Amino acid sequence: VNPDLAGERQTASFSVEKLTAQLDGGAEHTRIRRAVVEAIECDPVFSREDQYFQSQNERYEAAVRKAVHLQKKMHEMGWTESGPEFKYIYRALSGDVAFLLHRIFMRSISVLGSDKQVAKWIPLATQFRLIGSYAQTELGHGTYLQGLETTAVFDTTTQEFILNTPKISAMKWWPGDMGRSATHTVAFAQLYIHEKCYGVHPFIVQIRSLQDHSLCPGIIAGDIGPKMNFEHIDNGYLMLQNVRVPRENMLNKFCEVQPDGTYVRRGSQKINYFTMTTVRISLISDEVIIPLMKACTIAIRYSVVRRQSKLKPGEQEAKILDYQTQQEKLLPPLAATYAFHFINDYLQELFNRGYQEIQRKNFDMLPELHAFSSGFKAMVTQYCTSAVEICLRACGGHGYSLLSGLPSLYTKILASCIYEGENTILLLQTARFLIKCFMAASAGQPVPPSVTYLAAVKPGKCPAKNKLDFLCPDIYTEAYQHMAVRLVSSTAAKLQDLVQSGVKKHDAWNQCTVQLAQAAKAHCHYITVKNFAETVEKLETKAGIQKIMKHLCDLFALHGMFSNAGVFLHDGYVSGAQMDMVTASYLDLLAVIRKDAVPLVDAFDFTDKSLNSALGSYDGQVYQRLYEWAQKSPTNKQMSPAYERYLKPLLHNTLSKL
Amino acid sequence: EALVINDPDFQHEDLNFLSRSQRYEQAIRKSALMVMKLREYGIADPEEIYWFKSFVHRGRPEPLDLHLGMFLPTLLTQATPEQQDRFFMPAWNLEIIGTYAQTEMGHGTHLRGLETTATYDPATQEFILNSPTVTSIKWWPGGLGKTSNHAIVLAQLYTQGQCKGLHAFIVPIRQLGTHEPLPGITVGDIGPKFGFDEMDNGYLKMDNFRIPRENMLMKYAQVEPDGTYVKPLSDKLTYGTMVFIRSLIVGDSARSLSRACTIAIRYSAVRHQSELKPGEPEPQILDYQTQQYKLFPLLAAAYAFHFVGAYIKDTYRRISGDINEGDLSELPELHALTAGLKAFTSWTASAGIEECRMACGGHGYSRCITFTPSCTYEGENTVMMLQTARFLVKSYTQVSSGQRVTGMVSYLNDLSMQRIQPQHVAGRTVTVRINDPVSLVEAYKARAARLVEAAAKNLQAELNHRKSKEDAWNRTSVDLVRASEAHCHYVTVKLFTAKLSEISNAAVRAVMTELCLLYALYGINKNTGDFLQVGILTHAQITQVNQHVKELLAIIRPNAVALVDSFDFHDFHLGSVLGRYDGNVYENMFEWAKKSPLNKTEVHESFHKHLKPMQAKL
């Protein structure tokens, strides 16, 4: 181990192992997770060693090979989809596996299909007799579902739906596993019966032959070309030309087209709606928080190995993490990983509770859950994406090498801001909920528990008298609450003013959207700070864990105030002098947390293979590894034809040609 | 431009579908061709070469960049006339292809930390070059991996047992003729990176590699045959090349941000989504306030940086004229200005490019968009900001001790006057008029002055607390960076505003004034804390600023597409399906995707290898 890194570990103020167990939700979970990771990483089929050098074709092939091998592995190890090991498999593979949409295909059939349809399709899918995909997004239409243009016209004479892509913007675009792998897909299309449109419905469509995998008649499908990441996934396009599917292929748990063309709606779709919102929450942990944890691990370990310039004359060059500016880049993201880890736990619990209520046919919690899932998905993905980018830049030139692992973490997390709902649109959905609740609260009506604070508007001023007061959670939580209330209430007032002055409602809404999005973010930020502070209260005081978590919580809150000073100062709740105290306390905390930075990332417990980074490995042998890995680059193995073809003539003959 | 676009030799398959080796080969092919064509057309003016080059490579870096941009200029500025005779013509004729090897694996911006050594051996009159540790391996230089046969290597000079600091040496690395690495040289490509796929960034390790004494660039410092070291007149001159490159980066930031804005704004006019009014067709996404709020401030910044770039180029030309005549008095300010502005503009530009990408939704994520990757080369940005801060603090100290300072920092002179009249702050608030750019320049000036003063005072307070100057500097560095940013922000607003009066066409001046106001007001909107905390603006004014920003968005909306069309990027240069001039986005995305390598065969080979056997087994 690099001595610079080893030294960092000796001074930890807390037990790393205890904190790891805390993050996993108990030592038993840590044990299971490590066993799964171990089993997967020791299997050469799952190796990611050459990943950075592979072409799109090679990455795709490897992902398919891994997906197939995984079935065998699970059988061998006795892991099942309902077992405790399952959730760790994806993490152990770092998502580098095909057929993820196959799962969404199965889930959508289970949720939207009748018992009969489930009985027919799910066994086929489980045994991989077919490979499924999920085709919703079109070239010209994304988050706004009603705008989809694919059509499904019911033909009573043959009892079939005729599916068509009427124009180029209606082509299905982006669905994973569809470019090359899938044999079937759930396609969303506007249903027409007797020339009347009934809106968007899901249909099971076969797209490739089960014998030789060639495209079915009327189907045009292929890969959408290279993207910033996900080279291993064959995101695809799909064009349908008079493709006929039997009447039974429309997923019909909630609505059915009868043989004579009568359209029948049944049951409540609310539970289905709920399932879709849970997808947003479920991606937060694997796709967003874990990549940020990895990026922090790489950047912080590298920052104690890298030395640059001198802090004091005559001394060795200093570790870059000893520079205040480097701490300011890396430590707030580190605090954020913990803040978001805890808010994720909170949301999971809330959604489990919601699920039980909904099964009892109590739908009261739905609007609140929907607002939670939209707002937090947007806030967490946005924050973590910027934070990963900061980590990348904080590693200077070497961060830009793919071998650092940071570029692929960044390009991957960047996608999370877009899929499952574009972030701005999601924030506005949360804002709509907040405005509604604020109006209700002002009128004295009851509102959901997470927003009762909107009713309790206290004007007042921040009571802090010196910089230490800002290390008191009540002080900063109150400040966040005040700020959120102010932003929600002032935007609500603005909306009302506009409407009263004769502006149409939707125009008024569009004129306030910048403020509305800001208010939604402020609400989520407040809840995150509050939850972090409450979680710290409940942590065990042993092994130094509560103490270090308290520091991180303070840092997360004060960094937020420091970097959004204007919104706290705006109405004078926090004064200019108090803002100087916030800054002072914030900067002091950087120096305190600096000492535990390496143990704090060690606690995330990523193996070197899972980080797959020349800069971030546990032993800190950064430069040797970078040099060794570079030599593996294919550009160094093959003699480039460029020399013989172009350089040589250039070097030897140009003079005579000039 | 037309020369390149109409030349079939410069056409090729979309780079996104090629492997790194193929992309490198294409780049080399085009570079070789480009050099021939430049000679054929007799293009020799540097500005024209630059444009020709950027069209051949569509604004992407290429393996000969360092040869043309660093190797040749360094020979010109740092070689003796004898050395120029030996090296310049062969290099001009590309018998010698060179690169500039400064950065090492373990050392970047802090030049004095470099570990490569060049030890003079008077017995043979040679320098012995060594890479003593893994961290000292030269790492990153462009064109070093596969292309170059020479490199200008920066190494610590040892002669007569003493270290004389960093000097530049011309080192042959590959055999002329066979292109094989020379004995004692280990050279190769550093592997895949984030962007820059066509560039063979390389590593270089030297083991007791000997070069003749005459290969040290000796226009300034010299080593005599017996090993006696002759000092240069000014140490600062060696930094000249870097300052020059940084000034170019400011212009590049403006260009890449303009490109990204062009793509995002055109696409936002083509894309329709959701509904604004019930019952009406889906509106253009550019009609949404949130979309305008994302893109228009960046458009304004692109114009602002364009003017900043032009200003720096002019200043550089003017000052470098003086340098050749030995007048270095303006060098400190030039250095401070380029360092900070390089960081300020490239930070904003690269964040802005990401914002543009996100504003294109899912399609922004496809490679068919080609946003230029952001870059931290030529000096890490925080370090750059701190260099500017050092200059600001120095100027502040001069002012405090009664001296006057000149140039962009002259506002610091006012600080000492204000101290005599303590009522200044209250007096100023009412004078800021938020729809007058000139008045906003004053607000930015006040903010910069106050943050420089705060940083300098905090630094002084730290100094009073502890003994070490370095500790105090480090404990104030967050404040110092803020001060630098505020200074650069002020300079940018000031230059943009100054430009307005030079525009003669009234319609152009009107729209530029709107953009300038948006740039200045958006900056206040994003940094309200700085303006509120010391009362430069009141709460009521901040509310007005926010309101005025939104009004400007609506005012600029009708001109948005025209404003990006004015950048005049050819489709060929944008290389983006979303940003096409004709707006035929969807048709062309489909055409583009069909060419993807995964689509070469209808049934992918993995079906036979993996899928089919699995289906048979389960």
Residues B398 and A278: their CA atoms lie apart, in Å, by 61
* Minimal CA separation from A68 to chain B, in Å: 7
- CATH code reported for the domain at B242-409+440-563: 1.20.140.10
Domain A1-15+273-453+465-617 has CATH 1.20.140.10: yes
Tokens representing residue A639 in the block: 């003699």
Residue B150 pLDDT more than 80?
Answer: yes
**Contacts of residue A422 in chain B, CB cutoff 8 Å?**
361
What SS3 state is found at B406? Answer: coil
Chain A, window 175-214: residues with a beta carbon less than 8 angstroms from a chain B beta carbon: 179-181, 212-214
The catalytic residue among B198, B378, B442, B453 is B378
| pLDDT of amino acid A537 | 93
Residue contact A400–B358, C-beta within 8 A: no
- Ranked by mean pLDDT, which of A90-99, A372-381, B305-314, B410-419 comes out on top? A372-381
Burial per residue of B116-142, b for 16 or more beta-carbon CB atoms within 10 angstroms, e otherwise: bbbbbeeeeebbbbbbeebbbbbbbbb
**Contacts of residue A68 in chain B, CB cutoff 8 Å?**
610-611, 613-614
**Contacts of residue B530 in chain A, CB cutoff 8 Å?**
565-566
B404 touches chain A (CB under 8 A): no
What are the angstrom distances between the C-alpha of A201 and each of A163, A164, A196? 12, 14, 14
Give the DSSP H or E segment for B60: none
| Average pLDDT taken over every residue of chain A | 90
Tokens representing residue A188 in the block: 């969303």
Q: What is the mean pLDDT of residues A519-523?
A: 97
Residue contact A310–B470, C-beta within 8 A: yes
How many Cβ atoms sit within 10 Å of the Cβ of residue A258?
11
Give, in degrees to the nearest 5, the angle at Cα A257 between A251 and A258.
Answer: 125
Residue B528 buriedness (CB in 10 A; 0-12 / 13-18 / 19+) = buried
Residue contact A646–B147, C-beta within 8 A: no
Residue A606 — pLDDT band, cuts 50, 70, 90?
A: very high
Minimal Cβ distance to B593: which of A223, A389, A401: A223
- List, for residues A109-133, the tens digit of each pLDDT value: 988 899 999 999 999 999 889 999 9
The model carries a pTM of 0.85
- The fold for domain B1-60 equals Butyryl-Coa Dehydrogenase, subunit A; domain 1 (1.10.540)
Q: Which of B368, B528, B606 is the best residue to mutate to test the A interface, defined by the most A CB atoms within 10 Å of its own CB?
A: B606
Chain B, window 50-69: residues with a beta carbon less than 8 angstroms from a chain A beta carbon: none
Minimal Cβ distance to A222: which of B25, B534, B594: B594
Chain B, window 185-224: residues with a beta carbon less than 8 angstroms from a chain A beta carbon: 188-196, 200, 203
A637 touches chain B (CB under 8 A): no
What SS3 state is found at A144? Answer: coil
**Contacts of residue A326 in chain B, CB cutoff 8 Å?**
382
A570 touches chain B (CB under 8 A): yes
Complex ipTM: 0.79
- List, for residues B307-319, the tens digit of each pLDDT value: 998 888 888 777 7
| pLDDT of amino acid B428 | 46
| Average pLDDT taken over every residue of chain B | 83
- List, for residues B224-251, the tens digit of each pLDDT value: 999 999 887 655 555 666 667 677 778 8
Which of A67-71, A269-273, B64-68, B527-531 shows the lowest mean pLDDT across its residues?
A269-273
Residue contact A587–B147, C-beta within 8 A: no
Where in chain B is CATH 1.10.540.10?
1-60
**Contacts of residue B615 in chain A, CB cutoff 8 Å?**
128-129
- CATH code reported for the domain at A132-266: 2.40.110.10
B507 touches chain A (CB under 8 A): no
- CATH code reported for the domain at B97-232: 2.40.110.10
Give, in degrees to the nearest 5, the angle at Cα A604 between A599 and A608.
Answer: 95
Q: Any alpha helices (H) in B139-288, and if so which ranges?
A: 240-270
Residue B22 — pLDDT band, cuts 50, 70, 90?
A: confident
Q: What 8-state DSSP symbol labels residue B69? A: I
Burial per residue of A105-128, b for 16 or more beta-carbon CB atoms within 10 angstroms, e otherwise: bbbbbebbbbeebbeebeeebeeb
A137 is in an annotated binding site: yes
Residue A461 — pLDDT band, cuts 50, 70, 90?
A: very high
Residues A168 and A141: their CA atoms lie apart, in Å, by 11
Residue B261 — pLDDT band, cuts 50, 70, 90?
A: very high
Residue type, B377: Y
Which is higher by pLDDT, B533 or A321? A321
Where in chain B is CATH 1.20.140.10?
242-409+440-563
Task: Decide if A420 is catalytic.
Answer: yes
Q: Which of A643, A651, A655 is the best residue to mutate to test the B interface, defined by the most B CB atoms within 10 Å of its own CB?
A: A651
| pLDDT of amino acid B444 | 95
B143 is in an annotated binding site: no
Residue contact B39–A658, C-beta within 8 A: yes
| pLDDT of amino acid B319 | 72
Residue B28 pLDDT more than 80?
Answer: no
Residue A234 pLDDT more than 70?
Answer: yes
Residue contact B192–A52, C-beta within 8 A: yes
* Dihedral of alpha carbons B161, B167, B168, B174, sign: positive
Residue B377 pLDDT more than 60?
Answer: no
Nearest to A457 by CA among A485, A430, A435, A493: A485
Residue A507 pLDDT more than 80?
Answer: yes
φ, ψ of residue A44 in degrees (nearest 5): -60, -25
Where in chain A is CATH 2.40.110.10?
132-266
Which of B117-121, B154-158, B398-402 shows the lowest mean pLDDT across its residues?
B398-402
A142 touches chain B (CB under 8 A): yes
User: Can you name the residues that pair with A220 across neighbouring β-strands?
Assistant: A239
Beta strands in B78-201 (DSSP E): 98-101, 117-121, 126-130, 138-139, 150-159, 162-172, 185-189
C-beta separation of B265 from B564 below 8 A: yes
**Contacts of residue A565 in chain B, CB cutoff 8 Å?**
528-530, 532-533
C-beta separation of A598 from A4 below 8 A: no
* Minimal CA separation from A447 to chain B, in Å: 28
B597 touches chain A (CB under 8 A): yes
Chain B, window 358-377: residues with a beta carbon less than 8 angstroms from a chain A beta carbon: 358, 361-362, 364-368, 375-377
A634 touches chain B (CB under 8 A): yes
* Minimal CA separation from A153 to chain B, in Å: 22
Residue A612 pLDDT more than 80?
Answer: yes
Residue B328 pLDDT more than 70?
Answer: no
How many Cβ atoms sit within 10 Å of the Cβ of residue B110?
15
Residue B509 — pLDDT band, cuts 50, 70, 90?
A: very high
